[in-house]
Amino acid sequence: PATLAGPLPPFAPERLRLLSGGDTLVALLPEAAEAVRRAARQGLLSWETAGMAARLEAVTRAAHRSMESLDRTPREVPQRAFDLAARYELCFAGAAVLHRWTQGPRTPDADLRLRAGLALVLDRLGLPGGAHRSEAHDRLADGLLGPA
């Protein structure tokens, strides 16, 4: 073993280990997206919501592939690495939205909240929006603000 006063042991790269294999929320995103698809098949969620979960899953897979192919250097980090990090943060946020639905209570507005959260993430990821997405936000706002 190494000590502060003694010489360092020889470097043994085979002894290096990762402390974490990745993020659990994002790693379990496919299971959460499948739960949403299953709920849509059972009529508990809209197919639009299931489609949004599938798009998030596809974007997350693509982000992982891009991160794997990124050249890593200790200096001169390319801008692409920062862009990928920002994209991954949005994938993480989307995964959190999905897991909130899978683990949360089934309230009457659960589908609406899930759709609104996914809409926000997908829009920020630059995916084409639709009228149904802004409609989810409008309906949530109406519920919060009460009757006009």
CA 126 – CA 87 distance, rounded (Å): 10
Residue 9 pLDDT class (50, 70, 90 cuts)? confident
Name the token pair of 142. 């109406």
Which residue type, as a one-letter code, is found at position 76?
Answer: E
pLDDT by residue (tens digit) across 39-90? 999 999 989 899 999 999 999 999 999 988 888 777 788 888 899 999 999 9
pLDDT by residue (tens digit) across 85-125? 999 999 999 999 999 999 988 888 888 889 999 999 999 99
Residue 136 pLDDT class (50, 70, 90 cuts)? confident
Could you give phi then psi for residue 76, rounded to 5 degrees?
50, 60
Is pLDDT above 80 for 32?
A: yes
| Confidence (pTM) | 0.78
CA 120 – CA 104 distance, rounded (Å): 19
For residue 110, give the H/E element and its range. Answer: helix 110-124
pLDDT of residue 60: 95
